[in-house]
A = this chain, B = another copy of it.
């Protein structure tokens, strides 16, 4: 089974490599927006092509390991978690492209406002991706839980961005199409954070067999308290 362990390490290594590409795509998509740099935008599109290629490869690799070995419960959980994490990372790549497309359109117009909260959302989302994968590698429960907390912070920033943009639109109707683009960029960052949260939840499930999706843990605790 030494070989199988090596294969599992290799799978984890590939997930990390994919996550690195995703983090950098998120960063560049928002830098393209802030710096109005279409070269950065092109880099995101190129990275996404690589992410898609890795998505297919990791899926095939994990499925082959499932078929080839007969993994026991814990390794089985790791393999199904890897397939899910891979899917979440791939979606983040798509979302970075969505941001980039809106950035490319916004570059052609004068800026609506100085961008402060959107880059902060991006920084948080990138850190969440990094931490959720770190938590996977180190099997670090605290780190995984910290990702869940950051998600709330991202949601608050998104609400602030929406509110401010609605005010801009109401004040000056010519800003409406651009403000709508910025709203969807904030929305995409919030979704990226959601996917990082999914990964952190998978890590917690992997470590503890606790299902924290849908606040199942909270429900279980509540049921326990009632007993």
| A residues lining the B interface (CB < 8 Å) | 52-53, 55-56, 63, 66-67, 70-73, 76-77, 80, 83-84, 87, 162, 166, 169-170, 173-174, 176-177, 180, 183-184, 187, 211, 213-214, 216
Contacts and interface: CB of A to CB of B under 8 A. Distances in A.
Given A67-B76, A83-B80, A176 B183 contact: no
Q: How many copies does the complex hold?
A: 2
B173 A213 contact: no
Given A63-B77, A66-B76, A56 B176 contact: no
A56 B216 contact: yes
Contacts of A73: 67
Report whether over half of chain A's contact residues are helix, strand or loop; otherwise say mixed. Answer: helix
Contacts of A162: 180
B173 A177 contact: no
A74 to B, nearest CB: 10
A226 to B, nearest CB: 18
A109 to B, nearest CB: 14
A84 to B, nearest CB: 7
Contacts of A214: 52-53, 55-56
A170 B174 CA distance: 7
A63 B80 contact: yes
Contacts of A87: 84, 87
A146 B213 CA distance: 33
A84 B71 CA distance: 20
Contacts of A53: 214
A67 B72 contact: yes
Contacts of A77: 63
Contacts of A166: 176-177, 180
